[in-house]
Amino acid sequence: MTPVHRILPAEPLRGIGEYQAADGGRAVEAALRVEADAIIATVEEAGLRGRGGAGFPTGLKWRTIAANRSPELPTTVVVNGAEGEPGTFKDRTLLRTNPYAVLEGAVIAALAVGASDIVVALKDGDDLGRRRVEQATKEMQDAGMLAGRPVSVSSGSPPATSSPVSRSSPRAGSCTSRPRPHGTRCSMHSHRVTSNGSTSQHHSSSATRHWTRS
């Protein structure tokens, strides 16, 4: 039987050229041509759900975040690559194999909920994951695929965001942060239109005081 790779390619993508050759980047282009509400409506119609146990509808979560944005404080999309479930390796596999799709989904989530920046949170010591995300971020920035959203990488604690990539300290508690009460949680998914898009505000039970922790 011939293996069918529905979510990830058989081998890690070596660069943005391979991603674009597989139609990568077209979803962001489409999202930029429509209003935020149209993006959310498309996700709702697609039936996309979170990868967590509840399988909560992504479109409903995004619409809730967009409807409750603070008029004064910025919104941040947080990509959770620091999975804590015992024996789980799915998020790291997604980021190491195709970080471009994850980042493209995060950009679309940012466009949908009006977020100003994106943070990728990784497990402390995941040097390979950090290198892959930083490489993809730089390539996508150079290719104009981030829609003007700065991306930072954090290990262990929220970083101050800078463009295009901010290397925060890999040790928890050793880097500074800005309060982000209205964050958007965005778990791993390689869907071309959006990443998992699980959205959560700071009152999440797993959140830090000022950040949405996905």
Residue 182 has pLDDT above 80, yes or no: no
In this model, does residue 132 exceed pLDDT 50? yes
Mean pLDDT of the chain: 77
The per-residue pLDDT for range 93-131, each reduced to its tens digit, is 999 999 999 999 999 999 999 999 999 999 888 999 999
CA distance 185 to 77: 6
Q: What is the pLDDT of residue 51?
A: 75
Q: Which residue has the tokens 């930083």?
A: 134
pLDDT in tens, 13-53: 999 999 999 999 999 999 999 999 999 999 999 999 987 77
What pLDDT, on a 0 to 100 scale, did the predictor assign at position 204?
30
C-alpha separations of 18 from 13, 98, 146 in Å:
6, 10, 17
**Domain annotation for the chain: domains and CATH numbers:** 22-172+182-187 (3.40.50.11540)
Torsion of CA 9, 186, 121, 190, to 10 degrees: 0
- Map tokens 């730089």 to a residue: 138
Whether the per-residue pLDDT at 168 is higher than 70: the answer is no
